Amino acid sequence: MILRKPAPDAVASAESGFDPRTEPWGEASGWEQRAPLKWRLSLVTGVVVAIVVTITTLATYAAVSAMLTANVDRMLGRDVTSLLETTMKLESNEQITQVIDSYKAYHPDTRVAFSPPNWAFVYGDSIPVGGEFSFSGAGSSTSVRTVGGERIVAKRHDNGSLVVVARDLTDINALITTLGTVLVVITALGILAAILAGMWVSKSGLRPITRLQKAADYVTQTGDLRPILVVGSDEMAQLTISFNEMLVALQESRKRQSQFVADAGHELKTPLTSMRTNIELLMMLNRPGTTANISDQDRKDLEDDVLAQMTELSTLIGDLVDLAREDAAEKQTETVELHEVLETSLERARRRRPDVDFKIRISPWIMEGDQFALGRATLNLMDNAAKWSPPQGTVRVSMRQISDYEMRLRVDDSGPGIPVEDREKVFERFYRSAEARSMPGSGLGLAIVKQVIERHEGTITVRESADGGTRMEVIVPGHPGDGEVYEDAGVDAGETASERKEEFAKRWFNQR
């Protein structure tokens, strides 16, 4: 057979993403895992507010202290400049003493000392002079420092005159201490208020989560999948809507499961009942001493009937297993050569119906998917077409590329066809038309086909073939493979001119 060339090696790739079933949302310590969420929110709020308030308090304390100290320095600097200019103009000791006494009378918390130019004698109080002098303009330099709780400002002129002023900082320090105490109290009250506000906010904000948790617990305990009342339009309302959608999907899944079990039980019951009756009849005929007797032909027909019923039961069980496998989690995909899968299915279908002629047109096509499932689906399509085709009838299987990334698979039979009103029903589980009830089958074959095709992001539709039979048309994604097209004569005889025009137009639009 052609088209047996091995396809080039393909590298399988999978997009990595977050899986909430196996990956945690974030790392958490033991305390975080044990503490309630509202307490954690309150604590986080309190810590954040405490940090902000503490930083603000320290900045305020430092700024106010610096401002008060700068104000003292500015006042002392103005005083020392005025005293230096005044005393430099005096000519007698009495005048100097009078100016100093007058200044101290208005500034009782301030000490002052004056040394005339080139004099070793100092008028006024005994104040230590030191620190680093810096040029302050007009031929003078100034020194500012704090010694023993006093702020000392000294100003020296280039002619040797020196004035020193010292102010007691007790009141200023007491004011700064009082300010610090007030700020600490405000900080503590702010943190406490932040914790209380955080508790209130967390309690109010988590109320919808609590309601959702109670609803989930109710569903878990009772199994009642009734929707939850949606309040508002915020994120929690959207979460509630998503939860309700999950409940609806779960309810639908439960209904489908119950219906599947009921249908499967009903379908299994029919062959089991008939087979039990025939087996009991055979046992009665083979019982020693029985007087009942039937002909050899009747016995052979009865045995053949039992074997046929066992085959039907085995087929039904196999279909149920295949359907359950499709309902399970998706398998890891692999690169599949669809043309080879079709060849394998075609060989099996020909062995089952040697009295039916199969016409094929196979093109190389590569896709990602489950090779076993695709083989089961294509075999079901061919078996279904062969079952409805009369002896010496024709089943046409054709593959044709319709775009750069899509391929169309058609399976046409020579049977009576499917009425338009029943074409969607044939894909339902256990559905069998009135004409099909007299023929073998479980009613699951096409349901399995549809499920496999849709899992591979394809579509399947039912149409009418050119000779009045049924056409199953499947479109799957992928890309062309290497190799030549193999075609039997007459496989596309049923393709009308209008269909060819429609296909050409579709490919032309896709190229644009």
Domain end position, chosen among 177, 205, 233 = 205
Q: How many domains does the chain have?
A: 2
In a domain, 20, yes or no: no
In a domain, 6, yes or no: no
Residue 481: is its pLDDT beyond 80?
yes
In a domain, 255, yes or no: no
Gyration radius of the chain's alpha carbons: 49
Co-location of 336 and 481 in the same domain: yes
Average pLDDT on 375-393 reads 87
Most confident of 14-18, 64-68, 136-140, 218-222: 64-68
- What's 377's domain CATH number? 3.30.565.10
pLDDT band at residue 325 under the 50/70/90 scheme: low
In a domain, 124, yes or no: yes
In a domain, 150, yes or no: yes
What single letter denotes the amino acid at residue 67? M
pLDDT band at residue 439 under the 50/70/90 scheme: low
pLDDT band at residue 14 under the 50/70/90 scheme: very low
pLDDT band at residue 471 under the 50/70/90 scheme: very high
In whole angstroms, give the CA distance from residue 443 to residue 428.
8
pLDDT score of 319: 67
Domain end position, chosen among 185, 205, 225 = 205
pLDDT band at residue 61 under the 50/70/90 scheme: confident
How does pLDDT run across 78-89, given as a tens digit for each residue?
888 888 777 777
* Residue range(s) defining the domain that contains residue 91: 30-205
In a domain, 377, yes or no: yes
Residue 12: is its pLDDT beyond 50?
no
How does pLDDT run across 208-236, given as a tens digit for each residue?
777 777 888 888 888 777 787 777 777 77
Record the pTM: 0.47
Co-location of 338 and 200 in the same domain: no
Secondary structure (H, E, C), 236-301:
HHHHHHHHHHHHHHHHHHHHHHHHHHHHHHHHHHHHHHHHHHHHHHHHHHCCCCCCCCCCHHHHHH
CA neighbor of 76 nearest in space, from 37, 43, 111 = 111
Calculate the dihedral angle through the C-alpha atoms of 216, 221, 224, 228, rounding to the nearest 10 degrees.
Answer: -20
Co-location of 197 and 337 in the same domain: no
Residue 482: is its pLDDT beyond 70?
yes
Domain end position, chosen among 205, 220, 236 = 205
- 3 state DSSP class of 323: helix
Residue 4: is its pLDDT beyond 50?
no
In a domain, 424, yes or no: yes
In a domain, 293, yes or no: no
CA neighbor of 402 nearest in space, from 469, 306, 323, 478 = 478
